[in-house]
Amino acid sequence: MVDKKKDIRAFTKEQLRDFFMNNGDKAFRGNQVYEWLWVKGAHNFDDMTNISKDTRAMLEANFVINHIRVDHMQRSNDGTIKNAVTLHDGLVVESVLIPTDTRTTACVSSQVGCSLDCKFCATARLKRMRNLNPDEIYDQVVAINNQSKHYHNRKLTNIVFMGMGEPLMNYPNVLKAIDKITSDEGLGMSPKRITVSTSGVPKMIKKMADDEVKFNLAVSLHSAIDDVRTSIMPFNSKFPLADLREALQHWYSKTKKIITYEYVVWAGINDQQKDVDALVNFCKFAPSKVNLIEYNPIDDGIFQQATEKAINMYVNTLEKNNITVTIRRSRGKDIDAACGQLANKNDAVV
């Protein structure tokens, strides 16, 4: 039986150093290969020009580099770029570059599909196929960083885990990817510029707090009333708001970081005064910020953006209660690249 080749990017630098030492070479060779893989982004062993031909052949015989392939890219008329990213096993995820005057943000995926069943989200219609590996997450960021440099003459400034999947259901790999993104041997970005968005998995929020992570947390709340939340985010029956709140209290006590809530106001669902009162009540235990996200229709007609009057009611009530509120306009809607629209619909190639 032929041994399966190993994914070389699952190896730490130490492990690579050991590998070379155990094979009669110098440990330093491990550093060189590691640099090719993570700093220079080599896709092939033959790209590693300061490594001898024999060593490259030996690597080729033992390992594979499972690099992602960005082979389908769409550009929105607002400058947003959506990438269809093919993984080594042929599965596809999406990632998005969102430029503004002052920032370039990468929105990356953490899973192929999603196991949650938020009724308003297009990704929820795709079955969860598998978790992404740390390097598959990291590669998305590198690809978008390159696009940012190419199209906007500047490096990526921010990263949000708001693409496909629930990052806290792939926590170990998300953490490893963020380690790489923030390390000097990777992209050297500040964790303060990274936000992990979750639908709210209490146990994992507590774990993040205990791990003393340095990146930011955003919670997709959408309602602070259990019945309403369960009707639009059915997993809420398993993780009710009281548990979520307790976990967030723990997060705040450990990190002292402001908590961001993402919230869409829909007509006839959560557009009444009682809804915003419940939201105020839910978030008053810690400094909070509410991002009111514009709804991006996913062609089912059930959900509709609330009226401007309802949005103003939210803004006024939140401000009166000293809760920061921002209204987030959608980006990349014309190419299905906005929040909740990622569902592998890739029409126009640019």
Q: Which residue sits closest to ligand SAH, CB atoms considered?
A: 340
Residue 239 in the binding site for ligand SAH (CB under 6 A): no
Reply yes or no on whether 94 is catalytic. Answer: yes
Q: Cβ 142 to ligand SAH, closest distance in Å?
A: 21
Helix (H) or strand (E) holding 61: helix 53-62
Nearest to 295 by CA among 319, 271, 323: 271
Residue 265 in the binding site for ligand SAH (CB under 6 A): no
String marking each residue 136-175 x if it binds ligand SAH according to CB under 6 A: --------------------------x---x---------
Residue 206 tokens read as 């507590």
Q: Cβ 288 to ligand SAH, closest distance in Å?
A: 15
Stretch that binds ligand SAH, among 77-85, 172-180, 193-201, 265-273 (CB under 6 A): 193-201
- Report CA torsion sign: 122, 128, 134, 140: negative
Nearest to 161 by CA among 342, 344, 348: 342
Looking at 94, 136, 166, 262, which residue is catalytic?
94
How many residues of this chain interact with ligand SAH, rule: CB under 6 A? Answer: 17
- How many residues belong to the chain? 350
Nearer to ligand SAH, 42 or 93 (CB): 93
Nearest to 145 by CA among 132, 158, 131, 129: 158
Pair 104, 98: CB distance under 8 Å:
yes
Q: Cβ 118 to ligand SAH, closest distance in Å?
A: 6
Reply yes or no on whether 339 is catalytic. Answer: yes
The CA distance from 141 to 137, in Å, is 7
The CA distance from 285 to 290, in Å, is 14
Looking at 107, 118, 121, 339, which residue is catalytic?
339
Nearer to ligand SAH, 125 or 155 (CB): 125
**Tally: H helices and E strands in the chain:** 10, 14
Residue 94 in the binding site for ligand SAH (CB under 6 A): no
Nearer to ligand SAH, 132 or 339 (CB): 339
The dihedrals phi and psi of 260, each to the nearest 5 degrees, come to -100, 135
Residue 120 in the binding site for ligand SAH (CB under 6 A): yes
Stretch that binds ligand SAH, among 68-76, 223-231, 252-260, 289-297 (CB under 6 A): 289-297
Pair 127, 116: CB distance under 8 Å:
no
Stretch that binds ligand SAH, among 12-20, 62-70, 181-189, 290-298 (CB under 6 A): 290-298
Q: Which residues pair with 347 in a beta bridge?
A: none
Residue 298 in the binding site for ligand SAH (CB under 6 A): yes
Q: Cβ 51 to ligand SAH, closest distance in Å?
A: 39
What is the number of other CB atoms lying within 10 angstroms of the CB of residue 80?
22
8: DSSP letter: G
Nearer to ligand SAH, 92 or 298 (CB): 298
Helix (H) or strand (E) holding 313: helix 308-320
Residue 199 in the binding site for ligand SAH (CB under 6 A): yes
Residues labelled as active-site residues: 94, 339
Kindly list the residues in this chain that would bind ligand SAH in the complex (CB under 6 A). 118, 120-121, 162, 166, 197-199, 220, 262, 264, 293, 295-296, 298, 339-340
